[in-house]
Structure 1
Amino acid sequence: MKVGHFLLAATLALVAHFALAQPQTSVDVSKGTGNVSAAATSTVTATVVAIAPATRTVTLKEASGRVFEVQVGEEARNFDQLKVGDIVTMEYRKAISLSLEKTSGPRSATQQIIEKRAAPGEKPGGTIGREVTVMADVISVNAKSKTVSLKGPQGNIVDVIVEDPEQMKHVRKGDQVKVVYTEAIAISVTPGASQ
């Protein structure tokens, strides 16, 4: 399975779970001269209550009592290391960084896949994610509504809210800015108390 397809499948499965679960969520915002970044992290912890090796299906139970199943793909190493009672922590993180710095060149977008799997012999786990960097043109600045309209490489236009008035002073129509978006899912397994 290609990494991109795995990322999509893993993201859809876990985002669907996060939508139903009651995750712990935190949001961090940082501001500096010419840039702002925001990151949100949601974490769900569950206990392994059953394992079906033939179908590679793991049944998990949250502290709230909700039970759900996760099918673990062949690309996940060390499936045989899982034990009933193990604690599984799933963390989904999204971040965006907007740099209102003047750059030059054509509008562009690049994507980098981030993948880290557990080493052979360790408990299953790892991180899969992507980082997208977009160079966009500023097509309008509205200080009153605190928005900057950006035109990306595909011609799409996105309005970005800029809360800091100092940042608004550094950007003008016709400038080019850099936007970096990252998302990642990290899964870790720790032995349960009974092990």
Structure 2
Amino acid sequence: MFKRVAITAAVLLSLSAASYAQPDVKTDVQRSPGQTTATGTAKVNATITAIDAASRKVTLKTQAGKVVDMTVGDEARNFDQLRVGDKVAVEYTEALTVSLKKGSGASTMQEREISERSEPGAKPGGRLGREVTVVAQVVKVDKEKNIVTVKGPRGHTVDLLVEDPEQMKAVKKGDRVQAVYTEAVAVSVTPGAAK
């Protein structure tokens, strides 16, 4: 499950025009008693080589030498602040934290949007994303196969393979599992070197 974080980050970046940039991808898994967190981050850096203000199109050249045309949507503030030579950084982050919660309680799901934009007058940039938190009931524990079956708020069951035997020891039927999934894309623009 945790390897999917890095794969998903790479796939999502490959779907965008920035995919030609050969992103720098990093993954990490942290474990502590009753909790595991997996993160994946992909970064792409480019330089603005041309700007068509009428169509809001910018041409970017990545560090790998690839040239990409991108249209900047109307929701991006301060388009007029862009200059040829400015540096553009795009960072895509995914994180999944799974925690064991002892005792019974309701299954729930909550989603929160993440949205930040640059201030008026600054270089364009911002961050968009979402965070989904699901609490599910443990309905079955198979210690021989290291599989925990959980039932979510909509009544669906999912089998989770627990790779760490120490984590498996603490799980009991009736416990709850909380999963927090976060994904976000951040774009920042910094002035290029003065000529």
Query: Structure 1 length as normaliser, TM-score?
Result: 0.85
CA distance in 2, matches of 1:13, 1:97: 20
Partner of 1:156: 156
Partner of 2:31: 31
SS in 1 for 2:69: strand
Shift of 1:189: 0.6
Task: Note closer, same or farther for the CA distance 1:170–1:47 as it changes in structure 2 (3 Å cut).
Answer: same
Partner of 2:58: 58
CA distance in 2, matches of 1:167, 1:122: 47
Partner of 1:194: 194
Contact kept? 1:100, 1:167, Cα under 8 Å: no
RMSD between superposed Cα atoms in Å:
2.1
Partner of 2:97: 97
- Give me the identity figure in percent: 51
Aligned pair count? Answer: 184
Contact kept? 1:38, 1:96, Cα under 8 Å: yes
Contact kept? 2:87, 2:189, Cα under 8 Å: yes
Task: Note closer, same or farther for the CA distance 1:172–1:13 as it changes in structure 2 (3 Å cut).
Answer: closer
CA distance in 1, matches of 2:36, 2:12: 30
Q: Could you report, residue by residue, the CA deviation over 1:116-135 in whole angstroms, capped at 9, with x for unpaired residues?
A: 11111111101111111001
Segments of 5+ residues of structure 1 without an aligned counterpart are 1-11
Q: Could you report, residue by residue, the CA deviation over 1:12-46 in whole angstroms, capped at 9, with x for unpaired residues?
A: 98551365541101111111111110100000111
Task: Note closer, same or farther for the CA distance 1:141–1:65 as it changes in structure 2 (3 Å cut).
Answer: same
Matched AA of 2:171: V
Partner of 2:4: none
CA distance in 2, matches of 1:68, 1:165: 47
Partner of 1:173: 173
Matched AA of 1:28: D
